[in-house]
Amino acid sequence: MIVADKKPIEEIIEYLKGKQNILILGCNECVTVCEAGGKKEVGVLASALRMYFQNQGEDVKIDEVTLERQCDHEYLEEIRDRVDQYDAVVSLACGVGVQFMAEKYHSTHIYPGVNTCFLGATEERGLWTERCQACGQCILATTGGICPVSRCAKRLLNGPCGGSTTGKCEVKKGDEEIDCGWQLIVDRLQALDRLDEYETLCPVKDWSTDRAGGPRKVIREDLKQ
Ligand code: SF4
Ligand code: SF4
């Protein structure tokens, strides 16, 4: 899923200076799971903003709506008849949802309410970790199901580098310490009795499917009408 984190409220308040009709817009998908932008977080942010503006002696109206998804025309249509009444929308969706909102409703000021971080997994409540950088050409079949693009700090396709010590990566120390992605790959291949695959050099990867080629698209002719 897409993992996001809440923005500091001071930053959001800064966007909203001078605004009087504000919609806080949540999303029921990834940002709900990572507890950054779902219905609950919409309520918490709206309450905090109401309190702030009240303390400032400002009469600001703040509404709350949470859509099924903000990265889908169908659900964004649900607010078409009311979006014009707001002079600001704070979207708690990921960066995709915020941009889709901004593209669809040109005349409304759309502001992000979360920081979109990465594609990751929930390890435990309150802990999400990166697993994929959406490179567009998955090589997990050859790396024991562990991604060197996202788990190795240097995105090495043939590792580890000389900075791997006792299974840890050189880029972070102390409390921030992280596993060496390539040590994880070696350990996994060994456990699967497939270490011979580690001995085979990974060929040069076609990065044109990654960010190098600019914004990407997936076209499925079988699904197009
Ligand atoms: S190889 Fe690419 S697509 Fe596969 S998990 Fe890693 S970044 Fe994601
Ligand atoms: S120590 Fe391991 S994870 Fe860190 S950069 Fe080197 S190979 Fe990658």
For 73-126, the pLDDT digits (tens) are 999 999 999 999 999 999 999 999 999 999 999 999 999 999 999 999 999 999
Ligand 2 proximity of 158 Cβ (cutoff 6 Å): no
Residue owning the nearest CA to atom 3 of ligand 1: 138
Using pLDDT thresholds of 50, 70 and 90, give the confidence band for residue 218. very high
> Is any atom of ligand 2 closer than 6 Å to the C-beta of 150?
no
Is pTM beyond 0.85? Reply is yes
Residues 135-159 have a mean pLDDT of 96
User: Which of 213, 208, 7 lies closest to 95 in space, CA to CA?
Assistant: 7
The per-residue pLDDT for 128 is: 97
What is the structure's pLDDT at 38?
A: 98
149 in contact with ligand 2, CB cutoff 6 A = no
- Answer whether 181 contacts ligand 2 (Cβ < 6 A): yes
Query: For the chain, which residues make up each domain, given as ranges?
Result: 2-118, 134-204
User: Contact 59/20 with Cβ under 8 angstroms?
Assistant: yes
Residue-level pLDDT at 212: 80
Q: Which ligand is nearest to the CA of 132?
A: 1
Ligand 2 atom with the smallest distance to the CA of 179 is: 3
Peptide bond into 8 cis (omega under 30): no
3-state secondary structure 119-163: EEEEEECCEEEEEECCCCCCCHHHCCCCCHHHHCCCCCCCCCCCC
Name the residue at shortest CA distance from atom 6 of ligand 2.
Answer: 161
Rounded average pLDDT over 134-149 = 96
Distances (CA, A) of 131 to 57, 174, 195, 206: 46, 22, 22, 20
Ligand 1 atom with the shortest distance to the CA of 133: 7
* Per-residue pLDDT tens digits for 185-209: 999 999 999 999 999 999 999 899 9
User: If pLDDT is split at 50, 70 and 90, which confidence band does 225 have?
Assistant: confident
Closest CA to 63 of 87, 80, 31: 87
> 179 CB less than 6 Å from ligand 2?
no
Q: Is 185 a pocket residue for ligand 2 (Cβ < 6 Å)?
A: no
Architecture of domain 2-118: 3-Layer(aba) Sandwich (3.40)
- pLDDT tens, 2-60? 999 999 999 999 999 999 999 999 999 999 999 999 999 999 999 999 999 999 999 99
